[in-house]
């Protein structure tokens, strides 16, 4: 790989994220937080520094396809109807189309493709399950769920980290992978103790 390439990718990724976040205030900061939580989770799981950086980049870019989703749907202050939900789900396909020229990102694209897949096959876009889901995709899924639930959205207020972990625990074994959830919990607890100490 050309030495300038990883840097060019990171700067270009940041540009894309800025474009997406300029579009919607509720997405502002989400990508950065998911990148950060996902990378820490990957680290706690003992993954290599290269994979940790791939997970971080995928976290930053995971929702890039939301650029292609209508604002009226993204900002809707109530539950989505089936057509609107189908439109939101399309952000995964749109994201991969946007990123197609960056094929050299390899596994990063697989992680993004899998960020809404679930352990029991109840996710999208492919409905794959278990081991068929890339490890990075499983990590993004827990980080994304945690951040989505702890952030304020158009349709509801935020929950605390503790409430969110309690809720997510009820999804372990069905939609969330136990080992990845345990690692996320360690990351959240470590941060909470740092806040207390600080
Ligand atoms: Fe997403
Ligand atoms: Fe997300």
| Percent residues over pLDDT 90 in the chain | 65
Beta-bridge partner residues of 156:
153
pLDDT of residue 6: 56
Report the chain's mean pLDDT, rounded to a whole number: 89
Residues 6+ apart with CB under 8 A from 109: 58, 96, 99, 102, 103
Q: How many whole angstroms from 196 Cα to the centroid of ligand 1?
A: 31
Record the pTM: 0.91
How many residues does this entry show for the chain?
198
Q: How many whole angstroms from 193 Cα to the centroid of ligand 2?
A: 26
Looking at per-residue pLDDT, the higher value among 141 and 29 belongs to 141
pLDDT of residue 1: 47
- Name the pLDDT band for 195 (thresholds 50, 70, 90): low
Range name among 73-82, 117-126, 161-170, 175-184 with the lowest pLDDT average: 73-82
pLDDT of residue 134: 98
Mean per-residue pLDDT, 119-133: 98
Is 66 among the residues known to form the active site?
Answer: yes
Q: How many whole angstroms from 100 Cα to the centroid of ligand 1?
A: 17
Q: Is residue 13's pLDDT more than 50?
A: yes
């Amino acid at each position: 790989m050309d030495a300038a390439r990883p840097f060019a990718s990171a700067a270009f990724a940041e540009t894309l994220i800025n474009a997406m976040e300029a579009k919607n205030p509720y997405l502002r900061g989400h990508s950065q937080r998911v990148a950060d939580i996902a990378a820490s989770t990957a680290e706690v799981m003992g993954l290599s520094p290269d994979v940790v950086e791939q997970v971080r980049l995928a976290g930053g870019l995971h929702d890039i396809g939301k650029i292609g989703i209508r604002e009226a749907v993204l900002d809707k202050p109530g539950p989505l109807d089936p057509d609107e939900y189908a439109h939101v789900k399309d952000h995964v396909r749109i994201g991969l189309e946007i990123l197609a020229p960056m094929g050299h990102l390899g596994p990063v694209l697989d992680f993004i493709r899998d960020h809404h897949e679930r352990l029991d096959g109840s996710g999208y876009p492919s409905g794959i399950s278990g081991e068929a889901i890339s490890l990075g995709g499983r990590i993004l899924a827990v980080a994304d769920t945690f951040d989505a639930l702890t952030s304020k959205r158009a349709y509801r207020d935020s929950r605390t980290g503790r409430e969110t972990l309690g809720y997510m625990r009820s999804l372990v074994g069905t939609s969330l992978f136990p080992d990845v959830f345990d690692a996320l919990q360690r990351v959240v607890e470590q941060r909470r103790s740092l806040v207390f100490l600080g």
